């Protein structure tokens, strides 16, 4: 599928390409594919290509002398040889402990949504979430697919200290805090995994285009997995389809 894209100069050495403003898996696939072609086909040296739901920012090493020439080159890459083929998809089953004792907001969240805690858990663990991109914090994944029944506006006053591993909901989004941070989302679960490890060459194991499903675990399992993770003995493999 082809989209009407817009090309804008972002700075002396950056160009922004925009898709229609939608959260859409087909756009994500198109965007990731175009990004890879740009990384391979660019004549100018690139520092990095960053993207989000519907835009791609190309950050070049040096100043762009003639931005219109660069637009033409980029457009030719989009129209030529562009066959978005079926890619394999990695599904990660992420263990989450939904326990009122470990998660400060679970009960108040359920009350605010007129649901029982069990209903919150089953609504949160049912979907397969799509990873759109990483941002906000190192290793923080923007996920699509939260059930509308779980949407709740952010807290009016953000918490100053959301713990690493907190699984939280804000508006129509859900995600896992990869490190301690201030944050305005409602914490409903906690995940014992390391979503971001700066000691690794690739610091995040979950990447854009992947899928995530949350698996409810008990407090004992949470502690067991936590100690395996800390000793480096926990291995999580994705299901590939």
Applying CB under 8 A, the residues found at the interface with other proteins are 8-14, 16, 18, 21-23, 47-57, 59, 67, 133-140, 142, 178-180, 196, 198-199, 202-204, 208
Q: Measured from the CB of residue 16, what is the shortest distance to other proteins in angstroms? A: 6
Nearer to other proteins, 107 or 197 (CB): 197
Query: 107 and 117 in contact (C-beta within 8 Å)?
Result: yes
Q: Please say whether the dihedral angle defined by the alpha carbons of residues 63, 6, 39 and 179, taken in this order, is positive or negative.
A: positive
DSSP string computed for 3-31: ---EEEEEETTEEEEE--S---HHHHHHH
Q: Measured from the CB of residue 159, what is the shortest distance to other proteins in angstroms? A: 17
The residue among 152, 147, 143 whose CA lies nearest residue 174 is 143
Q: Measured from the CB of residue 91, what is the shortest distance to other proteins in angstroms? A: 20
Nearer to other proteins, 121 or 208 (CB): 208
| Residue 124, H or E segment | helix 117-125
Q: Measured from the CB of residue 5, what is the shortest distance to other proteins in angstroms? A: 13
């Amino acid at each position: 599928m082809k989209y009407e894209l817009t090309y804008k100069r972002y700075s002396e050495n950056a160009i922004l390409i925009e898709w229609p403003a939608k959260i859409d898996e087909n756009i994500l696939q198109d965007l990731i594919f175009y990004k890879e072609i740009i990384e391979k086909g660019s004549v100018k040296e690139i520092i990095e290509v960053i993207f989000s739901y519907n835009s791609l920012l190309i950050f070049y090493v040096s100043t762009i002398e003639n931005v219109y020439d660069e637009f033409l080159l980029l457009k030719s890459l989009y129209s030529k040889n562009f066959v978005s083929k079926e890619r394999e998809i990695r599904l990660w089953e992420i263990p989450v402990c939904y326990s009122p004792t470990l998660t400060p907001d679970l009960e108040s969240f359920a009350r605010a949504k007129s649901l029982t805690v069990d209903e919150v858990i089953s609504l949160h663990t049912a979907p397969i979430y799509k990873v759109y991109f990483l941002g906000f914090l190192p290793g923080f994944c923007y996920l699509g697919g939260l059930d509308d029944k779980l949407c709740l506006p952010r807290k009016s006053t953000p918490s100053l200290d959301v713990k690493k591993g907190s699984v939280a909901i804000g508006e129509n989004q859900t995600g896992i805090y990869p490190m301690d941070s201030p944050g305005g989302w409602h914490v409903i679960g906690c995940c014992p995994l390391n979503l971001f490890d700066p000691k690794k060459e690739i610091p995040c194991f979950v990447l854009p285009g992947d899928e995530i499903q949350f698996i409810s675990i008990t407090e004992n399992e949470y502690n067991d997995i936590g100690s395996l993770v800390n000793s480096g003995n926990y291995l999580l493999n994705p299901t590939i389809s």
